[in-house]
Structure 1
């Protein structure tokens, strides 16, 4: 069943080659989706510590060009005027949803191999996990999707969106060349409105494990010693041979989040990120103000979405990475409850 859904929903995925030192600073155009909501309770935030994310460190992780959408695709269910056009009306508080999903189980997860930036697809179980993740977020608005450059994250995002009640179609934006831009244009305005741009970025890739990539984890422990391998995997600033530490992964992932994703949330757009254990841990470290010690103990399950609400410049976590059902995962805000009610009215 899962395999059939996969083939119908995804079609043929193309693996993306990776190139270093490529500019990725194009911005999405500014049409805004905004959910109106009253104030709601604020959740506890951990105290900020002195952990610094240094942007000067060189990295070896393979890269592809970060693509950006050339068209704005606004959700007609709950759109409202842009903040820039509301000067003559009373300002209302706005909120935006941020969904984080770690990809489903990959073929190398199944084989207990260090995967890192090697581009391998999902297993059948991973496909099922992605579909289940989609069911859990099926009532939460999504206006733009960011994924890593790796196929397992892209498959997860695409499969998850096959379950969304809004029935919009995710479209990968290709910006790596002029020909790619021209050939991937959509010429129907109605189709654009029923589509969601998917932006791929190498900065969201998994941590690059260097010389450990492709090695069996148990064999690696036997070869280098359990303590040494544990230090490479769980320390914050010690990289494996010719690889990245978690700190180095955080440098690129958090910088990309702040430069490219946070502005989308500020404009009122609802964002989904499908990525990897370490790139998402890095982003959660930033969102929840975790220390370097706290982040190394953070565990994220495959295929379990997390929900944050971005409101008045703050990120408020509303979902647990291990909760079993939608009701247990998400405490809806008024805005999200209204969105769900509109979906009920549209598709009853």
Structure 2
């Protein structure tokens, strides 16, 4: 039985380009972001993948990425479930601020702690630990049973909501997850065993033509 789970961060957003903290704010994709999503969909189709079901967040950049990927695959008709559980980490008071400006205001070390520590939240926002506490139960209760039942599932979401899943799937610790960057528009393909552990993992080369 095939147990396919593909995770994809949205394509580059307008605020990624401007180096702004985004969180739950809802900027659109750039032209590059649209092309990243299309390339991801084409690559998945070329690899012979198909999906039965898709999940995405309540934010437009992830929803559009999901739709563009499925369009390139000729799969626009499949059921797509949108949920706040897969939203990006909430950056609270940092949302909308330029990252360099934030470093000047609070200092490089403090901003690094907010961005990369596991359990230190920015003012008014979520830590990665908080994000894991939101994402992981949804994965266990809603997504994983579908995959284990043989449904081929696409999850189009965000850097931090996907880091929460990758931490579990790849067996990373709260220390090693701090160094993980998930590139925009690059699908991570997981084949799971019956016990929900990873049998194989592949991904799109970012430099692919």
TM-score interval (norm. to shorter)? over 0.9
Which residue number corresponds to residue 140 of structure 2? 258
Which residue number corresponds to residue 315 of structure 1? 198
Give yes or no for the alignment of 1:114 onto 2:53: no
- Gaps of at least 5 residues in structure 2 are none
Moved over 3 A (4+): 320-326
CA–CA distance in 2 between the matches of 1:275 and 1:146?
Answer: 8
Which residue number corresponds to residue 162 of structure 1? 71
Give yes or no for the alignment of 1:269 onto 2:151: yes
Give yes or no for the alignment of 1:153 onto 2:62: yes
- Gaps of at least 5 residues in structure 1 are 1-93, 170-194, 327-348
CA–CA distance in 1 between the matches of 2:161 and 2:202?
Answer: 18
Shift of 1:322: 4.5
CA–CA distance in 1 between the matches of 2:82 and 2:152?
Answer: 17
RMSD (CA atoms): 1.4
Contact (CA 8 Å) 1:301, 1:322: kept in 2 or not?
A: no
Count of residue pairs brought into register by the alignment: 206
CA–CA distance in 1 between the matches of 2:205 and 2:102?
Answer: 29
Which residue number corresponds to residue 94 of structure 2? 212
**CA-to-aligned-CA distance 1:7-64 (integer Å, 9 cap, x gap):** xxxxxxxxxxxxxxxxxxxxxxxxxxxxxxxxxxxxxxxxxxxxxxxxxxxxxxxxxx
| Paired residues for 1:126-137 under 5 Å | 126-137=33-44
Structure label with greater radius of gyration: 1
CA–CA distance in 2 between the matches of 1:224 and 1:323?
Answer: 33
Shift of 1:325: 4.2
Larger % of helix: which? Answer: 2
**CA-to-aligned-CA distance 1:107-165 (integer Å, 9 cap, x gap):** 1111111000111110111001100111111120200000011000000010011111x
